[in-house]
Amino acid sequence: MGIPDLVAPVREAAVNQQLRWALRSWTANLPHRHVWVAGHRPAWLADEVRHIPVRQDGTGYANTTAAMRAACEHPGVSDPFVWANDDMFTMRPLPDGMPVLHRGPMRELVAARAGQSGPYVDGLRHTYAWLTGRGHEPLSYDLHVPLPVSKGAMLAALDEGRGHDAHKRTVYGVLTQIGGERIDDVKIMHRAPRGYGPESLFLSTMPDSFANGRVGAFIRAAFPLACRYERSGRR
């Protein structure tokens, strides 16, 4: 098996500075063959970045499912590949490639969200009930870190788990029994300088915490130089 490609779903946006610094972090620390963007292609991306056009006319969860399916069906994308959202940063070198990581038992995440509601939380409960009803004691793969993906297994999971777009990573991980190592999630939701430091292997941000928080300044300082995926002079 060769070095895998990286695939990132990208929504339409006037500026996507998180993607710029994510690419810099992957170039420095995450071994890969090619980078693909599925969905929107920002004008500042260099020609070296490959593109899979995917319509972005659904919910965010549905759009990323469409992008995932398109990547799995594209003959040019490696099998397996690494799925990495445009707000996921690899902060230190991974010489052996991307490991499989999970968040621990899904029941713990469900219990922690008791009394909450919304598309994500409602989807969490729905997916948990669906998986446990099928005899699984599921782990959660709902982490803001890259995920190694086997194309055939992911397509099978997307077909079998239709309607579970918000938690497709977990459906894939559980149905495919990929195992992995447990970590805490790395998403930094707010500007407050907590939950990260020089020891961080991965980080993820919200647009505001990246643009205006100390975590964003920390990431930008770690990767100050443009990488080969950025077109010179384009913002």
DSSP states of 31-55: --S-EEEEE---TTB-TTSEEEE--
Q: For residue 235, is pLDDT > 60?
A: no
In a domain, 198, yes or no: no
Is pLDDT of 192 > 90?
A: no
Given a contact cutoff of 8 angstroms between Cβ atoms, the answer to whether 47 and 136 are in contact is no
> Is residue 202 one of the residues assigned to a domain?
no
Does the pLDDT of residue 45 top 80, yes or no?
Answer: yes
Residue 14 lies inside a defined structural domain of this protein: yes
Q: What is the mean pLDDT of the chain?
A: 94
Average pLDDT over residues 126-144: 97
Q: Which domain holds residue 34?
A: 5-186
In a domain, residue 196? The reply is: no
101 three-class SS = strand
Peptide bond preceding 31 in cis form (omega within 30 of 0):
no
Specify the length of the chain in residues. Answer: 235
- pLDDT value at residue 97: 96
Q: Looking at the domain assignment, is residue 121 inside a domain?
A: yes
The per-residue pLDDT for 60 is 87
pLDDT for the residue numbered 1: 60
Is 100 a domain residue?
A: yes
* pLDDT at residue 232, rounded to an integer: 79
Q: What is the pLDDT of residues 202-227, one digit of tens each?
A: 999 999 999 999 999 999 999 999 99
Residues paired with residue 8 on neighbouring β-strands, in sequence order: 37
Look at the pTM and tell me if it is higher than 0.85: yes
Question: In this predicted structure, what is the pLDDT of residue 52?
Answer: 98
Instruction: Check residue 89 and report its DSSP letter.
Output: E
End-to-end Cα, the chain, rounded Å: 36
Comparing C-alpha atoms, which of 143, 31, 148, 165 is closest to residue 87?
Answer: 143
User: How many beta carbons lie within 10 A of that of residue 229, not counting itself?
Assistant: 20
CATH number at residue 123: 3.90.550
What pLDDT is stored for residue 233 in this prediction? 60
pLDDT at 56 over 90: no
Range with lowest mean pLDDT among 3-17, 103-117, 121-135 = 3-17
Q: Could you give the CA distance from residue 226 to residue 110 in angstroms, rounded to a whole number?
A: 41
Classify each residue of 151-178 as buried b or exposed e, where b means 16 or more C-beta atoms within 10 Å of its C-beta: bebbbebbeebeebbbbbbbbbbbbbeb
pLDDT score at 193: 74
* 14 confidence band (pLDDT: 50, 70, 90): low
pLDDT digits (tens, 9 = 90+) for 66-81: 999 999 999 999 999 9
Distance CA 144, CA 88 (A): 6
Dist CA 142 CA 106 (whole Å)? 9
Residue 234 placed within a domain: no
Considering the domain boundaries, does residue 49 fall inside one?
yes
What tokens appear for 36 in the block?
């693909």
Q: How many domains is the chain partitioned into structurally?
A: 1
